[in-house]
Amino acid sequence: MYSNEETAKSAPRILGAMFLIVIVISLVSGVVLSLSGSISDILVKISDNLTLMRISILFGLLNSLGIVALASLLYTVLNQQNRIIALVALGLWLSEAIFYAISQIGAFALIPLSQDFVKAGTPEHSFYQTLGDFLYFGVDKQAVTIHMWFYCLGGILWYFLFYKSKFIPSAISLFGLIAASLGLVGVVCEFLGAEVPIFVYLPLLPFELTIGLWLMLRGIKDSSKI
C-alpha cells in the first residue's frame, strides 16, 4: 500500500504521463479514418472501412475516459491552490468528456446508415443524406465543438492554478493560458457561424506535449505542498 505522501508525490508524474497518453489516443482516433467530402462520399467511405471506423470510435471513447482521468489527476495536484476553482475546472472537463462521448454516438450511428445507403445503391437526394448530415455534422462535429468549449474554459482555470502554484515554470503556464484562450475565441467564432482555421487550435498540441513531458520527467517544484 502507498502512503498519502507517496501518492501525492507520484501524482504529478502520473499526470504528465496521462497528458501524453490522451494526446496519442486523440491523434490515433483522428487519423485512423479521415472523412471528408460530401455526406454521400463520407457514407460510402465508412461503409468501405467499417473496421477502421469502429477502431476510430473505440479510440474516441478511450479518449473520453482519458479526459476523466486527466481531470481527476489535475484536481488531485491543484485543488489546494483554490478548491472552488479546481472543482469548477473539474466539472468543465468532465462535461468535455461527456460531449466527446456524445460525438462518438453520432459517429457510431453512421455505420448502419452507411451500410443501408450502399445497399440501396447510393441514391442521390434521399433521406440517407439528410440523416447522415444530421449525424455527422449535427451530432458528431457539433459535439466536438462543444467539447472544445468546455476544454478551453477548464484549461484556462487549470493553467491559471498552475501559474499561481509555481509548480512548473511560469512560461509553460502562460503558454497554456494563451493557447486555451485562443482556442476559446475560435470556439466562440464557430458558434457564431464563422469558419475558423485549424491553426487557431494548433498551439494546444505543443503546449500539452510540453507540460506532459515536464511533469512526467521533472514533476513539480514542491510536491509536499499538494
Looking at residue 222, its pLDDT comes to 62
C-alpha cell at 61: 471513447
Domain that holds residue 59: 4-147+212-225
CA distance 130 to 92: 32
State mean pLDDT over 154-179. Answer: 95
165 part of a folded domain: no
CA distance 16 to 215: 5
- Domain count for the chain, please give it: 1
194 part of a folded domain: no
C-alpha cell at 48: 468501405
- DSSP 8-state secondary structure symbol assigned to residue 124: S
CA distance 153 to 184: 7
pLDDT digits (tens, 9 = 90+) for 106-144: 999 999 999 999 999 999 889 999 999 999 999 999 999
At 225, is the pLDDT very low, low, confident or very high (cuts 50, 70, 90)?
A: very low
156 part of a folded domain: no
CA distance 144 to 162: 26
Is residue 93 within 8 Å of 150, Cβ to Cβ?
yes
89 part of a folded domain: yes
C-alpha cell at 3: 502512503
196 part of a folded domain: no
77 part of a folded domain: yes
User: Please, how many CA atoms are within 13 Å of residue 223, restricted to the half-sphere of its CB?
Assistant: 17
Position 197 pLDDT exceeds 80: yes
Q: Which amino acid is at 2?
A: Y
CA distance 153 to 88: 10
Percentage of the chain with pLDDT > 90?
80
Does the pTM of the predicted model rise above 0.85?
yes
Give SS3 for 44: helix
Instruction: Tell me the C-alpha to C-alpha distance, in Å, between residue 29 and each of 42, 52, 53, 216.
Output: 16, 10, 9, 23
189 part of a folded domain: no
